[in-house]
Amino acid sequence: MPQLDYDVLIVGSGPAGSTTARFAANAGLRVLMVDKRQELGAPIQCSGAISRHALEAADIVPDDEFIHEAIYGFAIYDERGERTVHDYRRLKPDEYGSGGGKKPLGYVVDRRRFDRHLMTQAERAGVDVWLKTEGLGYTPTPDGRCTVHLRRYNQEIDVSARIVVGADGLQSQVGKWAGLQTHIKITELAGCLQFIVDGVETEGLLEIVTGHRWAPGGYAWVFPKGNGYAEIGLGVIATMTKEPAKDHLHRFMSDSFFADRFANSRILEVQGGGVPLASPLRTQYADNMILVGDAARHVNPITGGGLHTAVAGGKIAGTFLSGHLADNLPLRSDALSAYQDLWLSAVGEKMWKLYDIKTDIFHNMNIAERDSQLYATMSDYFSPTSEFKKI
């Protein structure tokens, strides 16, 4: 019979959950992490782009186990195919490159392997992990702890914990369990679809295509995927189009300035998901509960990137919990606001700023003006001088 009493119970073993778990366990807490899936990261709902800096800051060593391809910069396109390139191999040739002593700017990772790798690192730090285990709810108990209700291989199990961490991703239910306001506006959730393809050349850059014509409310992308493969995708805001992402993606592939480049592409995988281009949740904690990662909307509202923010948030959450629990501080809602304050000062305030920039752009109803604003903002965002470089 497994031990049914933990310090921390984490629902969801994505990048946010595994990173929280690893930092908490390294500090000596007893941690159980559960995930309802049988294979982490699958089906893939992510393009997998993450900066090297983001990995290193969360003590994740870049490993061939999960890396598809190294990235050296960005190319941002306007609607007609004019582009701004920030190739760090040229901008800072001594630092960035594939040669000896040089490093990549970032990576495209395989989420199946990345998530499994992060879970393994957590397990090696002492975390217990249960797969095929779904979180169903939790109840704070009079002793100041809480009981978490789980279903594992069809069996209902209650586990006692001091605190539950909701790291259950975009479709998060944990926040709803506690009655938090977690709703995303339809104008702020991008519906995304992407194909892994063979037969499309890439050049070590993340390519981002702006323009209402191709991806209303979002953008399209072409990422290198290793082994000569590429990833072509886009996200759209439902209120700005009458068509689903699927139709936009087909049109982008057949009608855009990239039509010739994509003409011989063969689709190897179909992936998709939702990306909140939204603000972080205003309240990310409740009695005996904190949220981290997509569950707390820790997503960059300009780029839609949520991997960096998931592992950064996981480190903050894990470190916060180790201090808070070691000091035996109370775990009711008001005492946990310190977690959110910590997160805000480390990354959250910048995310709110990005949200304001993004909101300004999309409040402009003039499509041509909005397109050029988005192109300029994206081009600037990825430049070496961007104030947001580290998000």
Q: Does 73 bind ligand FAD (CB under 6 A)?
A: no
Strands 128-130, 31-34: pairing kind: parallel
Q: What's the one-letter identity of residue 241?
A: T
Q: Which does 106 bind (CB under 5 to 8 A by kind): ligand FAD, another protein, none?
A: none
Pick the stretch among 28-36, 141-149, 349-357, 377-385 that binds ligand FAD (CB under 6 A).
28-36
Calculate ∠ Cα 25-133-295, nearest 5°.
Answer: 70
Torsion angle of the four alpha carbons 90, 91, 92, 96, in this order, in degrees rounded to the nearest 10:
-60
Q: Does 13 bind ligand FAD (CB under 6 A)?
A: yes
Q: H or E stretch including 137? A: strand 133-140
Crossing angle for the helix pair 15-26 and 111-124, to the nearest 10 degrees: 20
Whether the Cβ atoms of residue 215 and residue 234 lie closer than 8 Å to each other: yes
| Total of chain residues touching another protein, rule CB under 8 A | 30
CB of 52 to ligand FAD, least distance (A): 13
3-state secondary structure 279-292: CCCCCCEECCEEEC
Instruction: Tell me the C-alpha distance between 123 and 126, whole Å.
Output: 5
Q: Other C-beta atoms within 10 Å of 30: how many? A: 18
Q: Does 391 bind ligand FAD (CB under 6 A)?
A: no
CB of 132 to ligand FAD, least distance (A): 9
Out of 161, 245, 289, 374, the only residue in the binding site for another protein (CB under 8 A) is: 245
Q: Does 301 bind ligand FAD (CB under 6 A)?
A: no
Q: Does 184 bind another protein (CB under 8 A)?
A: yes
Question: How many residues are listed for the chain in this entry?
Answer: 391
What mask, x for binding another protein by CB under 8 A, covers residues 38 to 57? -----x-x------------
Interface residues with another protein (CB under 8 A) are: 43, 45, 136-137, 169-171, 173, 176-177, 183-184, 186, 189, 191-193, 238-239, 243-247, 270-274, 276
Interface residues with ligand FAD (CB under 6 A) are: 11-17, 34-37, 40, 45-50, 134-135, 167-170, 173, 192, 194, 233, 272-275, 293-295, 299, 304-308, 310
